[in-house]
Amino acid sequence: MSKQVFYVGIDVGSKELVATVEGRRPRCFKHSQAGIKAMVEWAEKIAAGTALQFCMEATGVYGYSAASRLYREHGCSVSIINPAQIAAYAKAQLRRTKTDFVDAQVILSFAASQKPPLWKPESKALRQLYLLVTEADRIRQEQNQWSNREHARKYQEDLPDIIKKSRKAVQRTLQRQLEKIEKAITDICNQDNEIKQQVQILCSIPGISNHSAVHILAYGKSALYKLNRRALTAHAGLAPAQKQSGTSINGKSRIAKQGDRRLRKVLFMPALVAAYHNPILKSFYQKLLERGKPKMVAIVAVMKKILLMLRAMLIKKTMFNPEYTLDS
C-alpha cells in the first residue's frame, strides 16, 4: 500500500509565494525565511500529520531559493517540475485564465495526478562550479562583444583618446576577472574529490578536453548519473522528434531541442573530435555516413552516444575502455 501524500502547489515569485492545497483557496506568503516558515506551518496544520510534498515549477533562482529553504531548513519533501509540463497540462485542461492563483492550482492538480519525483539539491561544490562556469562563459561573451565593437571602431574617424583608453581598460578588467574565475574553477576541481574524479573520468574519453569535461559537469550536474538513459537524452534536448500522421504528413525526424541548450552546445565539439579520433565513435559515425545520413545528423547521433557513454562511466566510476561497445 502506497504512502499517502498531501500535495502543496506553489507558484513562485520574487516577492511572494502563492500556495494552495486541495479544498482550500490559495494563500499568499512572503518569499522570505519567515514567509516560508509560515507556509510550512500552515500546510502542516491542514495536513494533520500526513506527509507533505511541496511542488513548484523550475523558475530559476527564485524557485531554487524556495526549494532549498524548504528542503534544508524545514526537512520538507520537494518536487521541481519542468514549466513545459505545467503549460501542456494547463492547455489540456483548457485553462484560459493565467494568474498566480490559477498557476498554483494547476501545479497542485498536476502533482496530484502525475506524482512527480522528489528533488534533492546538488552539493555545494557542484553548485559553485555551475555558478563559476556560467560566469566565465558570460565574461567570454562580453569579451567577444567588445572585440566586435573594437573592430567597428577602427573605421571611426577622430575617435577621442579617452574612448580608446576606456575601452582598453574595460578589456583588461574583463580579462583579469576571467583569469580569477578560471583559477577558482581549477581550485574546486582539484579540492573536491568527487568533482576531481568525475573530471578525470570524462577526460579519459577521446575527444573530451578538461575544458569540455568541466562544462559538461557544470551544466549536466547530477542529472548526468541520476536520470535514466531516456530522461537524460530528453534533458539534453537530443531526443528525436518525429512528425507523422497517416499518409499526408511524414516530416523529417529532428532533435526536440527542448532540453538544456548549454549542455547540448558543449557536447558538440567533443562529438566532432570523437567522430574522427575516438576508436568507438569513429566507426559508429562512419557507418551512419555509409547509410546515407547527413553529416550533421551523424554528429548529433555521436553527441547522444557520448552523453550515454559518460553517464555509464560516471555511474560505474570507471575510465574509458576502448573495448567497450555501444550496445553494452
**Per-residue model confidence as pLDDT tens digits over 2-40:** 468 999 999 999 999 999 999 889 999 999 999 999 999
Among 30-39, 92-101, 115-124, the minimum mean pLDDT is found in 92-101
Given a cut of 70, is residue 180 above it in pLDDT?
yes
What pLDDT sits at residue 93?
84
What pLDDT sits at residue 1?
32
Given a cut of 50, is residue 81 above it in pLDDT?
yes
Q: What is the pTM of this model?
A: 0.83
Tell me the pLDDT band of 242, cut-offs 50, 70 and 90.
very low
Among 44-48, 91-95, 98-102, 244-248, the minimum mean pLDDT is found in 244-248
Given a cut of 50, is residue 185 above it in pLDDT?
yes
What pLDDT sits at residue 155?
72
Cell of 118: 522528489
For residue 235, count other CB atoms closer than 10 A to its CB: 21
Q: How far apart are CA 220 and CA 123, in angstroms?
A: 13
What pLDDT sits at residue 250?
45
Cell of 84: 513545459
Helix ranges (DSSP H) in the chain = 33-47, 60-74, 83-92, 100-114, 124-153, 161-191, 193-203, 210-220, 223-226, 229-235, 261-277, 279-290, 295-316
Pairing of strands 5-12, 51-57: parallel
Q: In what order do the strands lie in the sheet with 51-57?
A: 27-30, 16-20, 5-12, 51-57, 77-81
Average pLDDT, the chain: 88
Between 249 and 54, the higher pLDDT residue: 54
Amino acid at 306: I
156 secondary structure, DSSP code: -
Q: How far apart are CA 222 and CA 242, in angstroms?
A: 29
Amino acid at 198: Q
* pLDDT cut 70: percent of the chain above it: 91
For residue 273, count other CB atoms closer than 10 A to its CB: 17
Among 154-168, 183-197, 245-259, the minimum mean pLDDT is found in 245-259
Amino acid at 308: L
Taking alpha carbons only, the member of 51, 116, 112, 109 closest to residue 79 is 116
If you average pLDDT over residues 172-183, what whole number do you get?
Answer: 96
Cell of 262: 548549454
φ and ψ at residue 11, rounded to 5 degrees: -100, 120
What pLDDT sits at residue 240?
58
